[in-house]
A and B are shown apart, each in its own frame.
With several copies, the nearest count.
Chain A
Amino acid sequence: MNNEKIKEREGLVYDPTQDCKLVGAARALSGVKDAITIVHARPGCHCGVLLLRALGSNQNDIRIVSSAFRASEMIYGAEGKLTDAIRLSYKHFKPSLIAVLNCSAPAIMGDDVEGVVLAMKEEIPAEVFSLSTGGYEGPAWIGYEETLAELTHFMVESEKAENSVNIIGFKQDEIKAYSDLSEIERMLNSQGITVNSVLTNSNFDEIKKAPEASLNIVLGGDGLESAKIMKERFDVPYVVTPYPFGLNNSIEFLKRVSRGLNKQIDQEFISTEKEAIKERIERVFLFLEGIYDTSVAVVGDGGRAFDLAKFLSDELGFGIKVLAITSKNYSTQDREKEDYFESLLIEPDRFEMNRELKTKGVEMIFGSSMEKKLAYELGAPLVRIFYPVLDEVSISDSPYAGFKGTIQLTENIINAVISNYAGIIDAD
């Protein structure tokens, strides 16, 4: 991959394809199942995070509270409101952890959030901590990394359990999160590996016990910082694996984990899964032949989009005209030299990205709900894979990840092509 193909943002004005620190932190925290997140901010920030959560994941598991201060409190400080918010959160939810996300306004105002947190720690029998998440302080992925790193502070040294792993970088508000995790667990179990705790999709107590695992799996590179800390502090080694989109990534996932555990890989399991995939794709092989070589764009975060693009190119035979990484992580730079895409955009401005997709003759988009209008303008089907997905739900057992996910992805992709109204418009 020569560098001429990598494009960085040109202008100053930025129609962002990524979110701010607050959202990265809130996402990480939402996977601590008995935690409450307090958004210490003016109403907009809280409303935004609440909407993302209510539209994009389990609608009955929100756990996001606003400190709800008013404009008038911007002058005298909103520490009182924050104190009330923490008290009320404890009263109503009895959480194990309360995390205060200190946003732009109180940060600039100079609220003494640390002071409030210290005082409340005395008062209520739950852990409380705060994080600096001013919008101007960095992008979402940094907020995510810092939050996971913060969680390591609560972890306790303990005996290692053999063949036990933690999964790091799992985000339970992605479209297929729950079924992806099931499939990943099934794959690991097939190799005699058990999952200790998931960062983040575990109770606070389980997260504290994370050092019991004998290996950390860093999914797609997300949460690498916390894995490094855990290696240093608790001597838990880690492997960075692909997010297991497709057959090859799934096998590679198992290989790296096995290698990390010094285990032999169970080839029989893989053969069985391969056979199952073969049997399913045989049923639609004519369509698969037909859509081979479709020109697509992949627009998603660094922890997922590279691996999806690789699957689409290598296994379905698609032409990846544009790979747009909307949000980096610490592995992104290493992956920029890979070669299954024609053009790579890093954290692009939406205006520039749309222009790029339009000139490249993209026929299908793999993205988030935010690519909906672009897809409409291009007349290209949109397959929603990446966060945030706000206009599609998944409550069935239908992963995109792993061996089963290979079948599900293939099905959805074929359907995205053949089951729209295009035929009628054409016939008109």
Chain B
Amino acid sequence: MIQNTRGANFLRPLINAYNPLPIHGITAIPGKISGALMLVNAITDAVPLIHGPVGCAFQRKINPFRPHASFYETPCTDMRDLEVVYGGEEKLRQGIKETYEKYHPALIVVITTCASDLIGDDFKSVIEGIKGDIGCEVIYTAGDFVGKSKPIGYQDALYAITDQMLCEGLEKGEIVKNDCSVNIITLPIHNAALKTAEMASVLREMGIKINKICFDHTTVKDLYALSKAELTITDYPLAGIRLMKEKAGVDYYATVGLEKYRERKEPELLSPYGIEGSARVFMEIAKRMGKEGEAEEVIERRKKIAVEKVSGIKKDLEGKTVAYSGMGCLHSLEQQMLLRDVGINPGLVIYKTSGLGLLLSMDAMEEVRNITVEWARKYGSEPEVLINPTTKEEIKAMKEKRVDLAIVSSLNNAVHEYHKEGIRTFNREDLMLHYQRIGFECPVELALRLREALKEPQKRSPLLCMLEYDTLRVNLTPEWAKLADIFMSLRGGVVGDRC
């Protein structure tokens, strides 16, 4: 029933194919070069120049954030023994010049490496020295601007852009503001254009202009124009965005109010999704822009349409018993969308702390758990809660509760085992990756997809059930579980890069 746009149907399975890869803080951490390349790659007329040995350029072609979309252009300075001993500044200087002559970009982003960092090359002075001689902007990212903020290279590169390019111009006081306009900035892995279309449309209807959406075919010219906006809307207040406020006076609004939540402990602040969450977010943006009046009408009208649509679908979901897994991650959807908007009836909530452990402390997890149960109660359900059950225990509980649909994650739950036992599932991971976004249309789509999932034919004997899996991390084979254990031990509990 859900129509896809022409010619894009391959993308979901393609992205999904690489999704189970257990890296990103489970068995490995992508280095800073990858993060920086992700950003450079999202700027259509920028070229990276990796200041380091060939490996730092060749291996980094594989994009750990989107392994299906490699970085095909990764020129480097081909650092050798000689430079390690005598320094690589001259090679970098020559390299920048040559890069400009070869690629004719509007921006060269020099990405430094362990090797160039350790030998102490002075990137800044090399760049300042050569900038005037070539016809494009040059900046550098060394991974040390933003501390531990993840994904480190991305954060750092964005900071470098703000710091070395945008703020440069600002000092000259040349900004002509684009009145009553906002930027929308999200990670390039989040399909910016697709996922912000409704937000942009709502804001426009309120009389708020969209200055720039990043990153979506973004050019260097677009980057310069970022400082013309009054406000930047972003999911998380990245260091570069904070700097933009500081230096260029472009304030920001974070849709996921982690900072405020830490003060006020109101769980709603963590969820900008669903009908109410979106309404709150849109209204807060409107207030910041002085458009409350216009906003009220727009939000009410759009809300009404969404509520009507959802209630049309709700009928088919009534009386169905649902199990869901606690999200742990901040993209949490259950409270706003599943319970309030779609009105599902959770009979069972499952927590897997092995996954959560990566992301939140035990305290924070307990907090999230309490929130979850509280919410369910508020909407009239009294779900059983399972903490770290084995797959067998999950299935037993689901069968006892006569669960019609298990809303779980293909990365944390052994969905093929459920299927073998005749339990239908809805993959939270898929929703999060491809569809979840702020706006009123998303809950409608969720309701539709849930209804479809209830009707889906059973999958009886998945080949994947032939394999052995780790009992705790049910998506990992014993081999990978060992790698994960070793990694965890060595890192002593890292904060993952996924969220």
Q: Give the B-binding residues of A (Cβ under 8 A).
A: 11-23, 41-52, 54-55, 60-62, 64-68, 70, 74, 81, 84-85, 88-89, 92-93, 103-105, 108-109, 134-137, 139-140, 247-248, 274, 277-278, 281-282, 285-294, 313-317, 319-320, 339-342, 349-351, 358-364, 369-370, 372-374, 377-381, 390-391, 406, 410, 414, 417-418, 420, 422-424, 426-427
List B residues at the A interface (Cβ < 8 Å): 1-4, 6-23, 27-34, 41, 49, 52-62, 64, 66-70, 72-81, 83-84, 91, 94-95, 98-99, 102-103, 113-115, 118-119, 410, 415-416, 419, 427, 430, 455-464, 466-467, 475, 477, 479-480, 482-483, 485-487, 489-491
* Complex CA distance for A47 and B70, rounded to whole angstroms: 15
- With A44-B31, A418-B14 given, name 5 new contacts (CB 8 A): A49-B59, A70-B491, A109-B118, A289-B20, A313-B457
Do most interface residues of chain A lie in helix, strand or loop, or is the interface mixed? Answer: helix
Q: List 20 A-B contacts (CB under 8 A).
A: A11-B102, A14-B76, A15-B75, A20-B58, A22-B55, A41-B114, A44-B60, A65-B483, A66-B28, A68-B491, A92-B485, A105-B115, A247-B461, A314-B459, A341-B457, A342-B457, A378-B9, A379-B10, A410-B463, A426-B11
With a cutoff of 8 Å between Cβ atoms, the chain B residues found around residue A50 in the complex are 23, 27-28
Bound complex: CA of A391 vs CA of B61, how far in Å? 13
Measured in the bound complex, the distance between the Cα atoms of B19 and A428 in whole Å is 20
Q: A12-B78, A84-B489 are in contact. Are A44 and B32 (CB under 8 A)?
A: yes
A134 CB contacts on chain B under 8 angstroms: 53, 84, 115
In the bound assembly, the distance between CA atoms of A364 and B11 in angstroms comes to 11
Q: Please, how many angstroms separate the alpha-carbon atoms of A361 and B462 in the complex?
A: 23
The reply to whether B115 and A370 contact each other, CB–CB distance below 8 Å, is: no
Whether the pair B477, A282 counts as a contact (CB closer than 8 A) is yes
Residues of chain A with a CB closer than 8 A to B455's CB: 342
The answer to whether A61 and B55 touch (CB under 8 A), given A136-B79, A281-B467, A291-B16, is: no
A418 and B17 contact, CB distance less than 8 A: yes
Contacting residues, chain B, for A89 (C-beta < 8 A)? 486
Contact B68 A422 (CB under 8 A): yes
For B114, give its contact among A13, A14, A105 (CB under 8 Å): A105
B50 to chain A minimum Cβ distance, whole angstroms, is: 9
- Decide: A377 and B479 in contact? CB cutoff 8 A: no
- Give A310's nearest chain B residue, CB to CB: B460
On whether the beta carbons of B28 and A417 are closer than 8 Å, the reply is no
Provide the bound-state CA to CA distance between A47 and B348, in Å: 37
Q: Is the CB of B462 within 8 A of A135?
A: no
- Report the separation of the CA atoms of residues A45 and B32 in the bound assembly, to the nearest whole angstrom: 11
Q: Are A105 and B118 in contact (CB under 8 A)?
A: yes
Selected contact of A13 from candidates B15, B32, B77, B467, CB within 8 Å: B77
- Which residue of B14, B91, B95, B430 is within 8 Å of A417 (Cβ)? B14
Is there an interface contact between B466 and A278, defined as CB atoms closer than 8 Å?
Answer: yes
Measured between beta carbons, the chain A residues less than 8 angstroms from B11 are 379, 422, 426
Q: Which residue of A lies closest to B115 (CB)?
A: A104
Task: Tell whether, in the assembled complex, residue B98 and residue A369 are in contact, meaning their CB atoms are under 8 Å apart.
Answer: no
Judging by beta carbons under 8 Å apart, are B489 and A315 in contact? no
Q: Which residues of A contact B95 (CB under 8 A)?
A: 12-13
Q: When the two chains form the complex, which single residue of B14, B55, B76, B479 contacts A60, counting CB atoms closer than 8 Å? A: B479
Assembly CA distance A167 to B181 (angstroms): 67
Residues A378 and B7 in contact, CB atoms below 8 Å apart: yes
Residues of B within 8 A of A43 (CB): 28-31
What residues on B are CB-neighbors of A390 within 8 Å?
62, 67, 70
Known A105-B118, A314-B461, A379-B6: A67·B490 in contact at CB below 8 Å: yes
Q: Is the CB of B118 within 8 A of A373?
A: no
> Judging by beta carbons under 8 Å apart, are B456 and A319 in contact?
yes
Contact: A363 with B491, CB < 8 Å? no
Contact A377 B53 (CB under 8 A): no
Give the chain B neighbours of A12 by CB distance below 8 A: 77-78, 91, 94-95, 98
Q: Which residues of B contact A41 (CB under 8 A)?
A: 114
Partner of B49, one of A13, A374, A420: A13
Query: In the complex, what residues of A have CB within 8 A of residue B56's CB?
Result: 20, 44, 135
Cβ contact within 8 Å between B463 and A316: yes
Q: Are A19 and B59 in contact (CB under 8 A)?
A: yes
A361 to B77, Cβ gap below 8 A? no
Q: A43-B28, A48-B55, A315-B461 are in contact. Are A68 and B118 (CB under 8 A)?
A: no
Least distance between B482 CB and chain A CB atoms (Å): 4
Once the chains bind, are B55 and A291 in contact (CB under 8 Å)?
A: no
Chain A residues with Cβ below 8 Å from B30 are 43-44, 47
Residue of B nearest to A370 (CB): B61
Beta-carbon contact of B79 and A51 below 8 Å: no
Chain B residues with Cβ below 8 Å from A61 are 479
Q: Are A135 and B54 in contact (CB under 8 A)?
A: yes
Residues of A with C-beta under 8 A to B483: 62, 64-65
A377 touches B32 (CB 8 A): no
